[in-house]
Amino acid sequence: MKYALIVILLLLPMVPTFWAIVDIAYRDFKTITRKMTWGILVVLIPCLGGIAYLIFGRKQGRKKEEYV
């Protein structure tokens, strides 16, 4: 039981990082440079970069239109 708690506490900070990576992939940004900058920031500074993207960067991109 205590090992499960340790695993959860270690993996919990990675959730914003994975969420940000997926969100960056599915959003359109004004320039490819901006998209790459957020991607590099999230990957190189995992927990803080993911949180920063979710607070500030998500507003810069817009959801891609689904093509049917």
pLDDT at 18: 94
Q: What pLDDT digit, counting tens, does each position of 13-61 carry?
A: 899 999 999 999 988 888 999 999 999 999 999 889 999 999 998 888 7
| pTM, full prediction | 0.78
H-helix or E-strand spanning residue 63: strand 62-63
Taking the C-alpha atoms of residue 9 and residue 7, their distance in angstroms, rounded to an integer, is 5
What pLDDT does 51 receive? 92
pLDDT at res. 59: 81
Give dist(CA 39, CA 46) in Å, integer: 10
Give me the residue spans of the domains in the chain.
Answer: 12-63
What's the confidence (pLDDT) of residue 66? 58
Task: Give the CA distances from residue 26 to residues 18, 20, 29, 30, 57, in Å, rounded to whole numbers and listed in that order.
Answer: 13, 10, 10, 13, 13
Tokens representing residue 16 in the block: 């914003």
For tokens 């927990």, the residue is 47
Does the pLDDT at position 68 exceed 50?
Answer: no
